Amino acid sequence: MKKSHRGIWIVSFTLILTIIITLTVNHKATNMVFRNLTAPVYHFDESQDDWDGGSTYLGVQYSDVSPNDYVNIYVPVSGEAPPLYVLIHGGGFVSGVAESKQAQMIYRYFRDHGFACASVNYRLAQEAPFPGAVKDCKAAIRFLRAHADEYGYNADRIAVFGESAGGYLAVMCAVTNDDEFNDLPFIGQGALGDVSAKVDVLVDYYGVKEWDLKKYLPDIELPTLIYDIANSWVGDLEMEGFDDFVSYWLRKEITELTAEELAVSDPYTYIEKNLPGNNNLSAWIIHGDCDMTVPYPQSDRLNKKLVDILGPDRVTYRLIPNMGHASDPLYSEEILADIEGFLKEHLA
């Protein structure tokens, strides 16, 4: 037993020493770690929401496929039907709920600034592999559009927000057509007929767009060891033997996917196929340059591609210095006011 404890101590000491040496030599990595550890945290009582600015509808089922397919809707009092802003939470496809802190920071601001907000809950990887969550989110959008008059908002044009894994889902909702991932019936669909899942404005917060999350680590000078430690929370989840959460969601190791299998889940497949020449999508993208979960070059690439296809007037990109993954200051009133202006311009 003593020998076992001594072995653990040696391994732990070696790991700590390696980390110290790595950070001492690599000043960029040191700055990233420091910025992530010292980022300001916004506090509010997430368990109490006594909003009195309009109507609240909680746990509204949009699909019969799962009790987890529901949406929480907030509609402010307005002289006319407010525009609809659909929110998709993150969590690596394996965690998170419609009332995540990030979703709350978005809807608490925007419902007070004249937007109807609908926060979507969807099936996680443990319940449904890809493309389950994509189909859920598109079914939610169709449900929300079909029931606009009932809840009192305007769904002629819709904005969609997503953060992290939710960013991937939001992008997929924005760039896929109605004949793609649209076969999950929403509640009431039979009586209402075909309803479009089209969205007009995409807001992507540090979203995953490429499955190889370590691809850009050399570009941002982040050692793999530090990356693995920063994202070790995923290892606490039961992923049925898969190496990472993406492979678990796809139910196949990323390294074993064929080119055809990769293409089906790749947003760029649909960007290249659907956006050129026949789309009026607008996009607002934000990322922190100290993100140690989804390296910001993923958003660099998306920005360049969308600008090339949609034009610079319809795409805004904000790379925020010294901000990590899901850092609360990315939801500051100043940044949200910028998004508000963008939405008002492009939803009009």
Look up residue 235 and give its two tokens. 């290892």
CB 167 within 8 A of CB 204: yes
Q: Is residue 49 in some structural domain?
A: no
Q: Please tell me whether residues 21 and 118 are part of one structural domain.
A: no
Question: For a pLDDT cut of 90, what percent of the chain falls above it?
Answer: 77
Residue 47 lies inside a defined structural domain of this protein: no
Residue 199, number of CB atoms within 10 A of its CB: 22
Residue 85 domain flag? yes
Distance of alpha carbon 125 from alpha carbon 117, whole angstroms? 25
Whether residue 283 contacts residue 312, with contact meaning beta carbons closer than 8 Å, is answered with: no
Whether residue 127 sits in one domain with residue 15: no
Domain match, 16 and 62 both: no
One domain, residues 212 and 264: yes
Alpha-carbon gap, residue 96 to 88, rounded angstroms: 10
pLDDT digits (tens, 9 = 90+) for 327-341: 999 999 999 999 999
Is position 86 within any domain? yes
What tokens appear for 88 in the block? Answer: 């998709």
User: Do 273 and 137 share a domain, yes or no?
Assistant: yes
> Within this chain, do residues 161 and 30 fall inside the same structural domain, yes or no?
no
pLDDT at position 294: 98
- pLDDT averages per 10-residue partition of the chain, 348 residues: 42 45 66 89 81 96 98 95 98 96 97 98 98 98 97 97 98 97 94 90 98 95 88 76 92 94 97 90 98 97 97 97 97 98 96
Distance CA 201, CA 227 (A): 32
Q: Are residues 164 and 29 in the same domain?
A: no
| Shared domain check, 160 and 32 | no
* 87: nearest Cα among 146, 147, 169: 169
Q: Are residues 335 and 199 in the same domain?
A: yes
- pLDDT value of position 183: 95
**In this predicted model, what pLDDT tens digit does every residue of 116-161 receive, in sequence order?**
999 999 999 999 999 999 999 999 999 999 999 999 999 999 999 9
Say how far apart CA 223 and CA 221 lie, in whole Å.
6
Paired with 318 in beta bridges are 286
Residue type, 178: D
- Dmax (CA) for the chain in angstroms is 74
Q: Is the pTM of this model over 0.85?
A: yes
167 closest CA partner among 207, 123, 119, 124: 207
Q: What is the CATH number of the domain that holds 252?
A: 3.40.50.1820
pLDDT at 24: 61
Q: Cα separation of 69 and 122, whole Å?
A: 5
What's the structural domain count of the chain? 2
d(CA 81, CA 274): 30
CA nearest to 144, candidates 66, 108, 198, 79? 198
pLDDT at 147: 96
Any domain includes 43: no
Q: State the residue range of the domain holding 247.
A: 54-347
Element (H, E) at 320: strand 315-320
pLDDT at residue 34, as a whole number: 85
128 φ/ψ angles, rounded to the nearest 5 degrees: -150, 125
